[in-house]
Amino acid sequence: MRLVKLLANLGYGSRKEMQAAIRNGWVTDKDGNPIKADSKLAHEDILFDDEPLDPPEGSVILLNKPLGYTCSMKDRGRLVFDLLPARYRVRKPALSFVGRLDKDTTGLLLFTDDGKLLHQIISPKADVAKVYEVELDRPMTGGEADQFASGEMMLENDTSPLKPAELEVLSETTARLTLHEGRYHQVRRMFAATGNHVTKLHRAQLGGLTLDGVEEGQWKLLGTADIDRIFGDSA
């Protein structure tokens, strides 16, 4: 890909602006030498304004989403994209969410522009488990684990029963819930069906991938080993 198009696709500016940036010497190699528009340097060897280029096309980003940020442009308030560099919002191809988290849910959220990988992760065939930490408004009754694991639980307005889910009770009002599908507001609706209300919800794990080392509001670029963990066993 030509350098001008690469920089524009990464969101640094328009093609015209990137042509000017190259002429002005703002795009260099690692030794600080200006490079030309027809440069054949590898992505990782190019600097823009003395900083390494943003992740290339096909990357996966993990964000530890804080409370109060939304994934939907239709919702009012702060967007999860506000936690990334502003240019990430205009990258081509666009970064997409790998399963959304609502405004009141925190935790592990992935972005990628790799459509094939995105569909591989969310495909029912992949059976990528999602682990949630839950706090409830009132004590559980004791029958929730069997109900969630039955494979027969129906939620209001759904036309098919839920897949079996594993509930680990931590206290009267806290638990870890592992899902093998991703229906709309599923965790909240499951507990609502038992007569309870979720007061805090945190996605802690996706497959074998966790938030270890990523503080709330921070993000990191995933390497191949990290991505492989998505399809590994849950811890």
Q: Which residues are catalytic?
A: 102
Instruction: Evaluate the omega torsion of the peptide bond into residue 85 and state whether it is cis, within 30 degrees of 0.
Output: no
Q: CB-based contacts of 9: which residues, under 8 Å, 6+ apart?
A: 1, 57, 91, 92, 93
User: Which residue from 217, 223, 190, 185 is spatially nearest to 107, judged by alpha carbons?
Assistant: 217
